[in-house]
Structure 1
């Protein structure tokens, strides 16, 4: 609806500018009539092109609503499934890595404890 109002406003503005230009020109009446006729035909042709382009744009938007948006939603669902699958597959590996890190940390703590015990004995 806004697009049609914009196009109508554009057309009215163009015609108003043409009328103003013709009224303030120093050309003869015949010359002004001829220029007005040519200008009006040009504006009509351009308005038809704009109207056609607007219709094509509306058709494209409708197609996107019907096709592209559902496809994007389906793609998002597929990505979500893949992410969940990856997380499920990675979880056992993460646990093994965490267990190994816990063992390394325990060994490091035991090593530090034994070093501290040796240092206390030496003093």
Structure 2
């Protein structure tokens, strides 16, 4: 019996709510339909505008991506050229430094030999 009472109460509540909403509706059925059609038209135009703007953003992004790839490509080539020029400029200096190091090393060996000759003569 309790389930039957609950079901009857539910049906009465739903029926009462439907009646109240129909009687308190601000527009008649045909006016409401016309209003919904207009709103759907506005919604469609707004969605079309959003699509247009999204496509504009997408094309702008793709353009920026393409331009940045070109810039980075040319920048990479410029950096390679700069490194090559730097190496060409520095190689003679490196060779001179190596020659000076070899000269200093040879002189050190000569001084070492001379010093050992002098010490060996003093011991005799």
| Cα displacement (A) at 1:114 | 1.0
> Could you say which residue in structure 1 is the equivalent of 2:5?
none
Distance 1:121 1:66, change over 3 A: same
User: RMSD of the TM alignment (CA)?
Assistant: 3.2
The higher relative CO (CA closer than 8 Å, separation ≥ 6) is in 1
Q: Deviations over 1:12-68 (max 9, x none)?
A: xxxxxxxxxxxxxxxx897xxxxxxxxxxxxx8xxx6x8788656533430233201
Distance 1:54 1:110, change over 3 A: farther
Q: 1:60 & 1:114 partners in 2: Cα distance? A: 78
> Could you say which residue in structure 2 is the equivalent of 1:116?
116
Aligned residues: 83
Q: 1:69 & 1:95 partners in 2: Cα distance? A: 39
Q: Give 1 or 2 for the bigger CA radius of gyration.
A: 2
Distance 1:121 1:68, change over 3 A: same
> Could you say which residue in structure 2 is the equivalent of 1:103?
103
Unpaired runs of at least 5, structure 2: 1-16, 22-42
Unpaired runs of at least 5, structure 1: 1-27, 31-43
Structure 1 residue 76 and structure 2 residue 76: aligned? yes
TM-score w.r.t. structure 1 length? Answer: 0.52
